[in-house]
Every structure is written in structure tokens, then in C-alpha cells.
Structure 1
Amino acid sequence: MNKDLSDIRQRALGLLARREHSARELITKLIMRDYDEATVQSVVATLAKEGLQSDDRFAEGYIHGRIEKGYGPVRIKQELRGHGINDDLIYFHLDMHAPEWEMRAIRAREKRFGKKIPQDFNDKAKQMRFLQQRGFSGEQMRKIFGTSD
């Protein structure tokens, strides 16, 4: 059992050396290697106590990476939930970027469609769908397009 514990720890550290992982992600990857679930959870909890695994660090890095790729807060929030990050942590980190969201949405739209705001309903709808798929809110889109609906 002690050898198994050491093996799980080494495997987890190897995964963490490559990139940050959420606790849920790490547990899932280790269980897929046919390790005992209770032992895996114990090892991951120990790594978290030692500061080697941190959902906070994972969320911060993940949000930064997704923002740089042009994604909005709605999509990032959903993706982080899928990684097992709790809502308090998600909102804490997303709120730190709140002043930037409108500007990020403008940049994403301009990168794809250019600076000119379309007057045609169909073109405007197409651009709004793009921003929605990227994870920007209706409020952010209304500010960009100057619509009140």
C-alpha cells in the first residue's frame, strides 16, 4: 500500500509538473490509471495542503489563458465548472477582470469582423451570435452594438 501511495504521488507530481490541474481533473486522471479512488483523493488532498495542487492557481491561470484567446466570462465560467472549480472561486477571479470584459468583446468582434459596426440586421445578428458563442453576455453585446432590446 505504501508503494502504491508513493506511485500515485509521483504520477500526480508528474502531471502537475506539466501544467496546473484542478483537484477533480487530477483525481480523474489518476483513477483512470486504475488506482484506488480513496487513496487518490487522499494523495490529492495532501498535495493541496502542501501547496503543490491549487484550484485557485488553476482557475487564475485558466481564466488568463482563455481571456487571451478571446473568450468571455459566460463560457469561461461554464468551462471551469466542468473542471470542478467551485462558483465562489470562479466569481472571485472573473470579477477581477470585470472592467475588461466589454473591451475584450470589442477586440474579439473587431478581430473577426473589422472595426465597422454593421447596420444590417442579419450582419449584426451574425456578429452577436459569434460573441455569444465566445461567451460574452447580452449586456456586453448591447453596449457594443448600441441596441436597447
Structure 2
Amino acid sequence: MKTKSRPEPSELRERALRYLARREHSRWELARKLEQAGFVIEEIAPLLDEFEEKNWLSDRRFAESWVADHQAKAGSMKLAYELRQRGVAEELIATVLADTADNELERARAVWRRKYAGAPADAAEKMKQMRFLQSRGFTLDVVRQIVDSAKVI
């Protein structure tokens, strides 16, 4: 069995740039990936500071990108949870999600339409549809508006 060797410190910059070339990362995500690759946090932090100064790494850009990629299938509650899990600050999450608040109802309606053919036939079906939309991260207020105003399509 081959043992995994520790990466050379000189590989840190190259590895970080390779990760960023694939997609946007939050600072926390990138630091975690580099630590898991075997790099030392004392060397990672200054490099990430430099990347932020050069605007190669940006939590704001990551959050905006994440929301743009995932908003068609998820509500603001789920998006906020996922951003928190990736180390994005609460203030930044609130700012980024404020831009999507206007179309939350339309997005929820689109998700509902893709899943269901029409209005719920009975109370059990209504609860099922509501649970589905809530599991996608839409607020209870939005979920109620969608299901209560549903008409057979």
C-alpha cells in the first residue's frame, strides 16, 4: 500500500489557484480543502489574505454565484443554510439574499409546478405539497400562498 506523502509548501499556491480556477470558493471552503490536502494553516492564512487583496478570492462573489446557481430549486431559507455551512458571514448572506426576495413567490410557484400537476385533492395531499415546498427551503408564508391559491392546471 502506498502511503500518502505531505505536499510541499511550494505547492500551496498552485493547488489553491487550481481550486479557484474550477469554481468560486468561500475563504472557509478553500482553507478547509487545503488543510485536508495536508497543508499547514499557518501557511494557508497569509496566502488567502493575499488572494483576497488581489480579489481572486471573494466570499461575496462566491455567495452571489452560489445563489445564482441554486435559486431555481431552493428557497431563501435553504440557500442561507447552505451558505452558512460554507462559512459565509450572516451579514453577507442577508445582503445577497435580499436581491432574491422579490421573486421568492415566483420561484416557489415554478418549483411547485414542476412537481405537481395541480391543486391538492384533499387535506393529506395539501400537507404533502406543503412539506415538499418547505423541504426546498421556502418560508411557510410563501408555501401557504402557493398551495392555497393553487388551481388545476
Q: Which of 114, 118, 123 is residue 121 of structure 1 equivalent to?
A: 123
- TM-score normalised by length of structure 1: 0.91
Q: Which residue of 2 aligns with 1:39?
A: 43
Greater helix share, structure number = 1
Separation in 2 of the partners of 1:72 and 1:87?
17
Correspondence 1:72 to 2:75: yes
Distance 2:107 2:37 in 1: 40
Amino acid of the structure 2 residue aligned with 1:134: R
Distance in 1, matches of 2:64 and 2:89, equals 13
Q: How many residue pairs end up in the alignment? A: 142
Helix, strand or coil for the counterpart of 2:25?
coil
Which residue of 2 is the match for residue 83 of structure 1? 86
Q: State the 1:42 CA deviation.
A: 1.2
Displacement of 1:146: 3.0
Alignment of 1:1-149 (within 5 A): 4=9, 6-68=10-72, 70-114=73-117, 116-146=118-148
The separation in 1 between residues aligned to 2:77 and 2:56, in whole angstroms, is 29
Deviation at 1:144, TM superposition (A): 1.4
- Equivalent pair of 2:129/2:147 in contact (CA under 8 Å): no
Return the alpha-carbon distance in structure 1 between the equivalents of residues 36 and 100 of structure 2: 35
Q: For 2:71, what is the secondary structure of its paired residue?
A: helix
Report the Cα offset of residue 107 of structure 1. 0.7
Q: What's 2:4 paired with?
A: none
Distance 2:42 2:141 in 1: 44
Shifted more, 116-125 versus 91-100: the winner is 116-125
Q: Please list every run of 5 or more consecutive structure 1 residues that lacks an aligned counterpart in the other structure.
A: none
Query: Take 1:94 and 1:87, find their aligned partners in 2: how far apart are those partners?
Result: 10
Ranges in structure 2 where 5+ consecutive residues have no aligned partner? 1-7
Letter in 1 for 2:138: F
Alpha-carbon distance in 2 for matches of 1:109, 1:146: 12
What is the TM-score normalised by the length of structure 2?
0.88
